[in-house]
Amino acid sequence: MSPNVLVEEISCTQIQVGDFVILREQHPCIITEFRTSKPGKNVMKKYLVGFDIFTGRKYEDLFKLHSNVQVPKLTKHEYLFIGEIGRSSPNNTLNQHPSQQVRESDHSKSEQQLMEISVMNEHTGQEKCLIVENERICQKIKEIISESQSIDQDWKVYTVEAMGKEAILKLEPIIDDLLNTTTL
C-alpha cells in the first residue's frame, strides 16, 4: 500500500490536543500539547508535541501555521484478550532457536523489549497476534496476566490501525452486568 494512501493532509490551524498527526515525517502521534508563535518578522509557526501511538515515545515538531500537515488514516478495532505468546527484542525474532536468542539480561536498557499477544475478534472468532511495542502497555499486560491467574476475568483490547501497523490503545476488564439482565 502506498504511504500516500495511509495519510491525508489538513491545515495546521485545525490541529488540536487529542488529534493524530504525523510528526518527524514518520511517527503517527497523538497530540498532547501545542503552541502558536506570535506574529512578527518571521512566519507564524505551530509547535506540536505528541506521543507515538506505537512506541509511546515523545516527539516534537514545528510547522508553518498555514501549511498542511499529514494525519494518519485510523481504523479502530476491538478484540478479546487471549494471552501472551512471547517476548522479543527488535533485533531478535520469536522464532529463533533458544541458543540463538539474546538473553534478556544481555540487552541494554535503551533497547526495547517487544511482547507478542494473542487476541480474538469476538464477532468473527478469528484469532490474531499483535506485537506490543509500548512499554506502558507491556507493563499493563504483565499485571493482567498475573491478576488473571487468581481471578477469572476477561479483558477487551482496543486497538488503532495506522500506516500499516496496529497498536493497542487500552485494555478494559469485561464486567458482566448482572443487575441489568432479566431472567424469565
Q: Note the pLDDT of residue 176.
A: 63
What CATH code would you report for 75-96+108-173?
2.40.50.140
H helix runs in the chain, sequence order: 135-148
Residue 90 confidence (pLDDT) above 70: no
Q: Is residue 1 pLDDT above 80, yes or no?
A: no
- The top-level CATH class assigned to 3-72 is mainly beta
By CB neighbour count within 10 A (0-12 exposed, 13-18 middle, 19+ buried), where does 161 fall? middle
Rg of the chain over Cα atoms, rounded to whole angstroms, equals 20
Of 16-30, 57-71, 89-103, 160-174, which range is least confident?
Answer: 89-103
Check pLDDT > 80 for residue 105.
Answer: no
pLDDT of residue 136: 83
* Distance from C-alpha of 24 to C-alpha of 70, rounded to nearest angstrom: 10
State pLDDT tens for residues 8-66.
Answer: 999 999 999 999 999 998 999 999 999 998 877 778 899 999 999 988 899 999 999 88
119 and 79 Cβ atoms separated by less than 8 Å: yes
**CB neighbourhood size of 128 (10 A):** 16
Length in residues, the chain: 184
For 120-163, the pLDDT digits (tens) are: 998 999 999 988 888 888 888 888 777 766 566 788 999 999 99
Q: How far apart are alpha carbons 69 and 8 in whole angstroms?
A: 8
Confidence at residue 96, expressed as pLDDT on a 0 to 100 scale: 39
Torsion of CA 50, 53, 58, 64, to 10 degrees: -40
| Contact (Cβ atoms closer than 8 angstroms) between residue 135 and residue 143 | no
pLDDT band at 70 (very low <50, low <70, confident <90, very high): very high
CATH code 2.30.30.30 region(s) in the chain:
3-72
Q: What is the pTM of this model?
A: 0.69
**What is the location of CATH 2.40.50.140 in the chain?**
75-96+108-173
Q: Are 67 and 15 in contact (CB under 8 A)?
A: no
